[in-house]
Amino acid sequence: MSLVQKLFSLEGKTAIVTGANTGLGQGISVALAAAGAHVFGVARRSCAETLEKVNAVGGTFTEVIADLSDMSAIDKIIAEVSSKTERIDILVNNAGIIKREDAINVTVEDWDQVINLNQKMVFFLSQAVAKRWIEDQKGGKIINICSMLSYQGGIRVPSYTTSKSGIIGLTRALANEWAKYNINVNGIAPGYMATNNTTQLRNDASRSEDILSRIPAARWGTPEDMYGAAIFLASDASAYMNGFTVAVDGGWLAR
C-alpha cells in the first residue's frame, strides 16, 4: 500500500451514516464504502438506492431503519450495529431537516422538530458512540454535517440556522473534550447542494438565481462533491484535525 493509500484507506473500518437513503448522506455512504469501510446507513425508509450505488463502487452497506426524531433510536442503532460488527470506527451525523417559515410565524412544534433532530440527536448519538470509544481506548471519528448557516443567518429558516450554528460550536466543544481519547470530531459545511433539502429553493426562480449568481463555482453542489472531504475526515489523513469544519461550498464563504 502506498503512503497515500495508507492515509486515506478505510479498509476494515465500520461507519455509521445517518440519513443515508438520499442526498448528501447517500453520497457520503458511497464515498466511505468506496474507501473500504463497511457502512451502516441509518434511515427511516429504505436505502435500496444507496445500497445499489455502494455496490456499484465495490463497497458494502447495511441499512438500519430508525426514526431519529425519537431518542430511543440511539439504543436501537447501537444494538443493531453492534450485533453485526465488533466495532464502530466512524460516525457521520448527517440526517437533518429544514423548515422554511417567516420567524414571526414559527411554531413551537416545528422549532422542536428541527432542534431535536439536527442538534439534540447529534449530541446524544455522538455521546453514545464516544462512550464506547473512551472505554476501548481505540478512538474514532465523528463528522458533523454543518451548513453555510453555521456561519450566516439565512432567510426564513431560523430554527435551522440555530441548529446548524449550534452544531459547529458542538463540533469544537466535543473536540476539546475528546481529542485526548484519539477521537477526532470535525465538521463539513456544505454550500448550496442539489438535494431534497433545497428543492423548494431551486424551484423558486428568483431565490435560485440569487443563490447561483453568488456561488463562485457557478453551480449547485452535488452529493459527489462531498466524497473528498468525507473520506479525508474519516481517515488517518486527518489524524491531527480536531474541532474544525471544512466548507465544501464552491466558494460561497469566500465571497
Q: Which is nearer to ligand NAP, 7 or 148 (CB)?
A: 148
**Residue 7 CB burial class (10 angstroms; 0-12, 13-18, ≥19):** middle
Nearest CA among 122, 245, 118, 123 for reference residue 188: 245
Amino acid at 14: T
**How many residues at the interface with ligand NAP, by CB under 6 A?**
27
Where are the strands (E) in the chain, listed by range?
14-18, 38-43, 60-65, 90-93, 140-145, 183-190, 245-248
Judged by CB under 6 A, the stretch of 8-16, 29-37, 67-75, 125-133 that binds ligand NAP is 67-75
Q: Which is nearer to ligand NAP, 148 or 179 (CB)?
A: 148
Nearest CA among 19, 17, 46, 22 for reference residue 33: 17
The single residue among 184, 197, 235, 242 that binds ligand NAP, judged by CB under 6 A, is: 197
Find out whether 17 and 43 touch, Cβ atoms under 8 Å. no
Residue 84: other Cβ atoms inside 10 A: 11
Q: Determine, following the binding rule CB under 6 A, whether residue 116 of this chain makes contact with ligand NAP.
A: no
Q: Which is nearer to ligand NAP, 43 or 231 (CB)?
A: 43
The single residue among 6, 11, 45, 131 that binds ligand NAP, judged by CB under 6 A, is: 45
Nearest CA among 31, 24, 21 for reference residue 192: 24
The CA distance from 188 to 91, in Å, is 13
Q: Which is nearer to ligand NAP, 24 or 34 (CB)?
A: 24
The single residue among 51, 114, 142, 193 that binds ligand NAP, judged by CB under 6 A, is: 193
Judged by CB under 6 A, the stretch of 49-57, 65-73, 128-136, 230-238 that binds ligand NAP is 65-73
Judged by CB under 6 A, the stretch of 43-51, 99-107, 129-137, 234-242 that binds ligand NAP is 43-51
Indicate left, alpha or beta for 104 from its phi (over 0: left) and psi (-120 to 50: alpha). alpha
Q: Determine, following the binding rule CB under 6 A, whether residue 195 of this chain makes contact with ligand NAP.
A: yes
Judged by CB under 6 A, the stretch of 53-61, 66-74, 151-159, 175-183 that binds ligand NAP is 66-74
192 belongs to the catalytic site: no
The residue written with cell numbers 470530531 in the block is 185
Nearest CA among 1, 57, 49, 52 for reference residue 32: 57
The 3-state DSSP class for residue 51 equals helix
Choose the catalytic residue: 151, 160, 192, 227.
160
Find out whether 96 and 117 touch, Cβ atoms under 8 Å. yes
Q: Which is nearer to ligand NAP, 162 or 182 (CB)?
A: 162
**Interface residues for ligand NAP in 120-159 (CB under 6 A)?**
145, 147
Q: Determine, following the binding rule CB under 6 A, whether residue 96 of this chain makes contact with ligand NAP.
A: yes
The single residue among 9, 15, 19, 171 that binds ligand NAP, judged by CB under 6 A, is: 19
The 3-state DSSP class for residue 14 equals strand
- By CB under 6 A, name the binding residues for ligand NAP: 19, 21-25, 43-45, 67-69, 94-98, 117, 145, 147, 190, 192-193, 195-198
Catalytic residues: 160
